[in-house]
Amino acid sequence: MNNNQKNGQSRRGYTSNFTLVCLLLIAVLTVINIKIFSGIIAKNPEVDIVYNRAEDPAVKEEAKKQAALQKELETSFIELSVSVDDTKAGNLVLVNNSNAYSFEASPKIVPKSPLVPFSGRQSDNYTVSYPAREMMTQEAIDAFNALADDFYAQTGHRDLFMLDSNRSYEDQERVYESKGSDIATLPGHSEHHTGLAFDMQIYQNGAVLAFDGEGDYSWIHQNCHKYGYILRYPHDKTEVTEISYEPWHFRYVGKEHAYYMYTNNLCLEEYIGLLKKYTLDSERLIFTTDEGVQYMIYSQPVGADTDKIYLPKNHSYNISGDNDGNVIVSAILSGN
C-alpha cells in the first residue's frame, strides 16, 4: 500500500469519527433542551394555561357567572336606550364645585320633574319666604310637608322658615358677587339650581333667626332622612364637600338614598362614589330600612360607547342620574 492510499484511509476514518462525535453531541444537547423546557413549563403556570385554559377553574367560573347574568338579564330585566343627558337629571344629581348643573339636559328616560311654586301646596306648619316664587319639585314639597307636620306634632313648633329653594344662574351670580367664594358657589354649580335644595331659618315674632339645628330643632337633623332629605353639608365632611358646615341647608334625594347615607355617615359625594362599585354585573347594594323595606341599588355607566341600561321587570323602582356619568336604579325588593 502506497502512502497516498494510507493517507486516504486515515482521512476517511477521521471524518467518520468526527461525524459520530457530532451526532452524539447533538443527541445530548437535545435531551438537555427537552429537560430544561419541561422544567420551564412545570414552573411557569402561564405556559401551562396556554394549553389548559379551558380547564382553568377561574376561567370556568367567570364563564358560568356571565352565562347566569345573561339569563337574568333576559328574564328579569328590560333593556332601554338612554343618552348622556339621562345622567344629568333626577333626585341624585351631584352638583358641586366639580360638577355643574345642566340646565339644558333633555333626558330620554330619567324624569326631569318640573318645578312648582309652594303657593297652595304647602303645609300650615311652616312658612315660605315667597310661596308664589319659591319652587321645588312636587315630590320634594310633599316630603317636606310631611316632615314639617311631624316636627310640629313632636315639638309644637311651626316656626320653620324656608327660602332659596331655587335660584337661576343669574340669581347665583348676584349671590356669588355679594358673598364671595368663601360662602357662595360659582354660578352653575349651586344646588339651588336643582329645585331639590333649600335653606332653613326660623321665623319668630316677625324676625328671621338663624337655624343652627340645636335644641328642639335637632329633631330635623336626626329625622330628615326618613322623609328623603339629607343635611347636605355636615360639619365632619367639609374636606369632601369643600363647603363649610351649613346646619340650615337641606337636600332632597329620596328615602332609600337618604336612609343609607344617614345610617352610614356618608355625604352625597361619598355616596355617589360608593355606588360606582355596585354595578348590575357585579355586587349590587342591597339593604333593608328601619321601616322594613328592602332595596336593591345599582349603578350603570352611560357614555359614547354605552347607551343601554337595564331596568327590573318585576319590581317597582326609582331611577336617577348622578351627574357624574351614571344612571342609578333603586328597586324595591320587598316591603312597601
Q: Which three cell numbers stand for residue 175?
A: 349671590
Beta strands (DSSP E) in the chain are 77-81, 115-117, 126-128, 135-137, 160-163, 197-204, 207-210, 229-233, 246-252, 285-288, 294-301, 308-312, 317-321, 326-334
DSSP state of 189: -
Q: Could you tell me whether strands 135-137 and 207-210 are parallel, antiparallel, or unpaired per DSSP bridges?
A: unpaired
Write down the catalytic residue from 134, 191, 246, 256.
Answer: 246
Q: In this structure, which long-range contacts are made by residues 165-171, counting pairs with CB atoms below 8 Å and at least 24 apart in sequence?
A: 165/118, 165/128, 165/134, 165/135, 165/136, 165/192, 165/195, 165/197, 165/198, 166/115, 166/134, 166/135, 166/136, 166/192, 166/193, 166/194, 166/195, 167/192, 167/193, 168/193, 169/103, 169/193
Beta strands (DSSP E) in 129-284 are 135-137, 160-163, 197-204, 207-210, 229-233, 246-252
Q: Which three cell numbers stand for residue 75?
A: 328574564
For 118-130, letters b (16+ CB in 10 Å) and e give beeebbebbbbbe
Active site residue 246: yes
The dihedral through the CA atoms of 71, 74, 78, 81 has a sign that is: positive
The strand pairing partners of 309, in sequence order, are: 80
| Active-site amino acid positions | 246
